[in-house]
Amino acid sequence: MVRTKRQRNANHQPTAASTLPPSLPRSMEEDLLRSSGVAPDIVIGVDEAGRGPLCGPVVAAAVFIDRDTYISHGICDSKSLSDEGDREMVYEELTSNKGVKWSVGIVDNKTIDNINILQATFSAMAEAVTKLVKCGKKGLKYHILIDGNKTPAQLVMHITRILQSA
């Protein structure tokens, strides 16, 4: 079985919810956070995949992109990348860019069966964020943006839930 680079690398206090457009520019996100009294040094985005399948892991990724980093592919939603070649090209750009820091948390199907899919999702999110923060500088203030309407209790940080506009 031939595995893509992505498959090989896979092993590698809540605030009020905000409704943001799906393609909100980073500077506007940070302005929103500062206007709400939160002035973080680092804003980390977290999302999950795999909640739909009945017998697979749930995977969460936590990502931070340095302010001065340029990403040539303007991605608003990974679901818009329907072509495998496009997904691989974007994946290569993100994972090889020194200005992009990322981490992955994975919870297997047996654990999902034991603790339920929501708790498994929270666990994967917490694992991804914790690994990313451990690689960062000490003493920084982090703010987490989570795609969803609930937050993991395991994360004791400032969190904003992002509710997609319909």
Indicate the annotated binding residues for a divalent metal cation. Answer: 47-48, 147
What are residue 93's phi and psi, to 5 degrees?
-65, -45
Query: Which residues are known binding-site members?
Result: 47-48, 147
Burial class (CB in 10 A: 0-12, 13-18, 19+), 133: buried
> What is the rounded radius of gyration, in angstroms, for the C-alpha atoms of the chain?
16
Check if the beta carbon of residue 135 is closer than 8 Å to that of residue 163. no
> What CA–CA distance (Å, rounded) separates 68 from 71?
10
Q: Which of 39, 37, 38, 57 is nearest to 49 (CA)?
A: 57
> What CA–CA distance (Å, rounded) separates 140 from 158?
12
Helix H or strand E encompassing 66: none
Task: List beta partners, residue 65.
Answer: 100
